[in-house]
Structure formats: C-alpha cells, structure tokens
Amino acid sequence: MASIHKHGISRWIAYSPPVAWTVRQLRELLIGALRQGPIPQHVAFVMDGNRRFAREHHIETVEGHNMGFEALARILEVCYKAGVKVVTIYAFSIENFKRSKHEVDALMELAKLKLVQLAEHGALLDRYGASIRILGNRELVKPDVIEAIDRAVSITAHNKRAILNVCFPYTSRDEITTAIKSTVEQYSTPLDSLQTPSKRTFSESHITQQIRKQMLEEDTDGNSAPQESRSTSPSSLKDAKSVEGGRSSSATTAINSSDKDESYTTAPSYPDPETITAETLDEHMLTAGAPPLDLLIRTSGVERLSDFMLWQCHENTSIVFLKCLWPEFDLWQFLPVLVEWQWQKKKSQEQQKSRALSKAE
C-alpha cells in the first residue's frame, strides 16, 4: 500500500468520503463488467513479498504480514464478487517453520486472531456464501490454533457458493504423499467377505487353475503359454506394472506371482489396485471436489512454485508471476491479469473451434 508514504493533501483527498465512495462505485462497476466474461473457477495465490514490503517501508515484519492480510481481504472480495468459486491461498508452508520463532509465533497469532474474528461474523460470511477449509498438516499446529480453525470451519461449513482454501501448514509434496498413503490404506483394508461374491462372479484362482490345466494339455513351446497365464492372473498384472516401474526383474516376479496365487485364496480379498487412477488420487488430494485450478498467481517476482499446488497446477493452469509485492496487490493489479486470462481463454476457444472445423473438412 503506497499510502504509507503519501503526504498531506493527496492523502486527505483519498480518504475523504466522496472520493472513497466514488472509488468504491468504480470498483463495483469494474467487477460487474468483469463478470460479463468468462471467470476462472479456481484461483490460487502465493502471497509472497510481505517481508520485503516491510523491509522496504521500514516497518516491522509482523506489520508487513498484517498488511498482507488486508490485501488478502481486498482480493477475496474482488474474487467472490466477480464469481470465482474457489480461492486457494498459500498462507503458511511447512518450510516456514524454519523462520525465527518470533515470526512464526506472530504469524500463528495473526491466523488465530483473524479466525476468531471471522467466527464472530458467521452471518456476514453467509453474504458471500463462502466456506473456509484449511488444507494442511494439522499435526504441526498448536492446539489453540486448531481450535480456532475448527470453529471457523464449522461455522462456515454450510455455505456452498464459494470456498476459501487456506493452505496452512502445507507443502504439495506432503499433500501428494498423504494422498498416496491414504489411497494405499484404502486399498489395503480388506473388503467385507459378503461383498466380494456380488462384486466378482468368477473366482480368480479358478481361472488360473483352468489356464494351468490348458497349459499342461497344450504341448506348445514353453515361451508363449506362461506369458498368457501371466496376463490373466490379476496379481501378476500388478507385478508386470512394477516391472514397468523398474522395481524388480521379470523372472523373479513371475515365480513370486505363482507363489502368491496359492495364498490368494485364503487371504482376505482386497479391492483391485489396478483400478487406481489419477482420479482416485485426485479424490485423496486436499483440494478434492474443487474445480480444476484455472489461474495461479504469485507475487514479488519469484518465478517458482515453492511446493505449492504441484499436483493441481501442472496440467492446464495459467501461472502468472507478478513483480508487485503482495501487500500492494489489489484490483488494479489483478484486473489486467484477469482480462488477459479472459483474452487467452477466448483465443484458445477460437483456436479449438477452427481446429475442429479444419478436421471436419
């Protein structure tokens, strides 16, 4: 916010009620105009530059974070008024615990204070129809902050129009690992024995036995037949997959798989791991259910992702790196980004159309 260094008359004018009112109307108007075009459904922000801002303006680091929070409030208002469904913000990285204790504590206090305040205004949040979700590793947060988090989350949980994802303490690798872990846990919990017959009419071991019988009867060369049997037994399919992953040599897995098949009949039945897809992992990510990330904005000119939304943003997301620091970020910086996004969206739609047309011809 440049207002820190603004003096006398211009400052007085800027704060005078009529000017403030006009600017507010102008903002509303611009947001309303933006709404007429396509609007990204899911926007993510990396709020970078609070500390540099504080350094440059000779204020306390903590004060810089406070200003950053104000910028966040402004931008959230713009986003929700413009019709963005999900906003994800990178509030605190697991790596941030490496910072000075004083700063970490102050950030935690800030988060707690704002969440408590927010919980006091549940009804106001209903106006925006926004619900809050905290994405991250809860084990790393102190219990009093957890309490504030849970309160804020539960108070807004019934809102469906918009979502604010606060990534707090979060890293993307942690998220992906947790997703993989929970998927593995889900797939390694035995199914109810009652469910299995309805799910699978054929017994795997029976099929394998049949094939073995056929193999014995047929007197073909020993090369092609075992391969056939391998591809039919599901557990060896997994092994084939792991060979693809370069984990073990094919010769040993073939032997292993036949060993395992015998025990398969007595062991509890599990869901087939082959049914795990990218969608399965997607559902185990912290952003499950949110629309795909359309736009990721990082301020302060640093051009890397810093372990944020890796899984979500590597497909079709527009990633924008801005030079301005986060506390300076406002509608006036956001507007060109949004307009450019709309422009690119329109252009890519046109391209797709012309491609489809040329293919049809």
Partner 1 sequence: MASTGITKREELAFRRGVVNGKQLTAHEREQMLQPFLPPAPIEAAPLKSPKSPRLSQRTTAAPRPKPTPVRTVLHIVLHAVIAFVFSIFFRFRRSWRLFSYKVRGVLRHHHHTPEWIVNDVKNVEQLPKHISVVLEHRDDDEDQGTAGLEGLVQDACEIAAWTASAGIPLLSIYERTGVLKNYVPQLHAAIEKNLESYFGTRRRPTLTVKAPHTISYSPPGTPSTEPTENGATTSRPHLTVLLLSEHDGRATLVDLTVTLASMAQKSDIDPKQIDIPLINAELSDYVSSEPDLLVLFGPTVRLMGYPPWQLRLTEIFHLPDNKGVNYLVFRKALGMFGKAEFRVGK
111's CB contacts (< 8 A; 6+ apart) are: 91, 92, 145, 148, 168
CA 201 to the chain's CA centroid: 38
Inter-residue contact 125 to 37 (CB < 8 Å): no
Inter-residue contact 59 to 325 (CB < 8 Å): no
Q: Which of 24, 142, 199, 353 binds partner 1 (CB under 8 A)?
A: 24
Ramachandran area for residue 319 (φ above 0: left; ψ -120 to 50: alpha; else beta):
beta
| Helix, strand, or coil (residue 135) | strand
CA angle 35, 36, 38 (to 5 degrees): 75
Closest to partner 1 by CB, 70 or 144: 70
Q: Which of 59, 110, 254, 281 binds partner 1 (CB under 8 A)?
A: 281
Residues in 160-219 at the binding interface with partner 1, rule: CB under 8 A: 161, 172-174, 176-177, 180-181, 183-185, 187-188
Q: Which of the ranges 54-62, 116-124, 212-220, 224-232 carries the binding residues for partner 1, by CB under 8 A?
A: 116-124
Query: What is the spatial distance between Cα 208 and Cα 217, in angstroms, rounded to a whole number?
Result: 14
Token pair 């408590």 is found at 116
Q: Which of 41, 57, 62, 128 binds partner 1 (CB under 8 A)?
A: 128
Query: What is the spatial distance between Cα 248 and Cα 67, in angstroms, rounded to a whole number?
Result: 54
Closest to partner 1 by CB, 197 or 268: 268
Instruction: Build a one-symbol-per-residue string for 45-74: x at contacts with partner 1 by CB under 8 A, - elsewhere.
Output: ---------------------x---x--xx
Residues in 234-273 at the binding interface with partner 1, rule: CB under 8 A: 235, 238-239, 241-242, 244-247, 260, 270, 273
Instruction: Build a one-symbol-per-residue string for 301-340: x at contacts with partner 1 by CB under 8 A, - elsewhere.
Output: -xxxxxx--xx-xxxxxxxxx--------xxx---x--xx
Q: How far is the CB of 110 from partner 1 (least distance, A)?
A: 12
Closest to 87 (Cα-Cα) out of 286, 285, 283, 295 = 295
Q: How far is the CB of 218 from partner 1 (least distance, A)?
A: 29
Token pair 């204790």 is found at 101
Closest to partner 1 by CB, 53 or 80: 80
Closest to partner 1 by CB, 122 or 226: 122
How many CB atoms sit inside 10 A of residue 155's CB? 20
Q: Which of 127, 199, 200, 353 binds partner 1 (CB under 8 A)?
A: 127
Closest to partner 1 by CB, 26 or 220: 26
User: Is 227 a binder of partner 1 (CB under 8 A)?
Assistant: no
